[in-house]
């Protein structure tokens, strides 16, 4: 029985060693897993903080862009109002200038009619002058006799 008892003891020791090795392996694996999980959690926490910071920066930029867009819309409305006012102002000026041009064109037509009338009167006067000069020439003595008459009228 000694051998059987010795074998039982060896078996019991072997099982204890095997159980202890299994426990150590499980504990070692568990410790390694916990360390890996801890490292992963640290990495994930850093990534989360970076993502939160990035999100915060993106929100800040978005807010800044919203403010800028509102400002640009206000500028756009102001420019549109200014453009509308300018268009109205220049439209009124254009109407005034068109009225002035129309008046000047009428005045020009009147001046042209006046010039035509004066030209006709001038032509008529020239024709009358020429007829009178012809009539005078018919009653006037020839130039030699006339010179003598002038000398006789105005002696020296």
Q: In the chain, where do the E strands start and end?
A: none
Query: Residue 154 pLDDT more than 60?
Result: no
The rounded Cα 130 to chain-centroid distance in angstroms is 73
Domains of the chain by residue range: 2-143
pLDDT digits (tens, 9 = 90+) for 5-27: 888 889 999 899 999 999 999 99
Between CA 111 and CA 100 the distance in angstroms is 16
Q: What average pLDDT does the segment 145-149 reach?
A: 56
**Pair of tokens at residue 4:** 């059987």
Q: 3-state DSSP call for residue 154?
A: coil
pLDDT digits (tens, 9 = 90+) for 47-91: 999 999 999 999 999 999 999 999 999 999 999 999 999 999 999
| Nearby residues of 140 by Cβ (< 8 Å), 6 or more positions away | 146
pLDDT digits (tens, 9 = 90+) for 114-146: 999 999 999 999 999 999 999 888 887 666 655
Q: What is the pLDDT of residue 141?
A: 63
CA angle, 6 then 8 then 12, to 5°:
115
Q: What is the pLDDT of residue 53?
A: 96
Torsion of CA 68, 74, 75, 76, to 10 degrees: 110
Between CA 120 and CA 13 the distance in angstroms is 152
Query: Residue 95 pLDDT more than 60?
Result: yes
Q: What is the pLDDT of residue 137?
A: 84
Q: What is the pLDDT of residue 30?
A: 92
- Tokens 């009225």 belong to 99
Number of CB atoms found within 10 A of residue 72's CB? 10
Q: What is the pLDDT of residue 22?
A: 92
Query: Residue 110 pLDDT more than 90?
Result: yes
Selected residue with higher pLDDT from 147 and 75: 75
Q: What is the pLDDT of residue 6?
A: 86
Q: What is the pLDDT of residue 67?
A: 97
């Amino acid at each position: 029985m000694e051998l059987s008892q010795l074998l039982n003891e060896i078996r019991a020791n072997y099982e204890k060693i095997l159980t202890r090795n299994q426990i150590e392996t499980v504990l070692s694996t568990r410790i390694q897993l916990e360390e890996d999980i801890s490292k992963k959690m640290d990495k994930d926490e850093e990534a989360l903080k970076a993502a939160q910071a990035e999100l915060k920066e993106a929100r800040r930029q978005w807010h800044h862009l919203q403010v800028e867009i509102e400002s640009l819309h206000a500028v756009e409305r102001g420019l549109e109002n200014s453009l509308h006012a300018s268009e109205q102002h220049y439209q009124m000026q254009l109407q005034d200038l068109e009225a002035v041009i129309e008046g000047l064109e009428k005045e020009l037509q009147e001046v042209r009619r006046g010039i035509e009338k004066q030209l006709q009167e001038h032509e008529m006067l020239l024709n009358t002058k020429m007829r009178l000069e012809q009539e005078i020439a018919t009653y006037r003595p020839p130039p030699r006799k006339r010179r003598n008459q002038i000398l006789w009228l105005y002696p020296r």
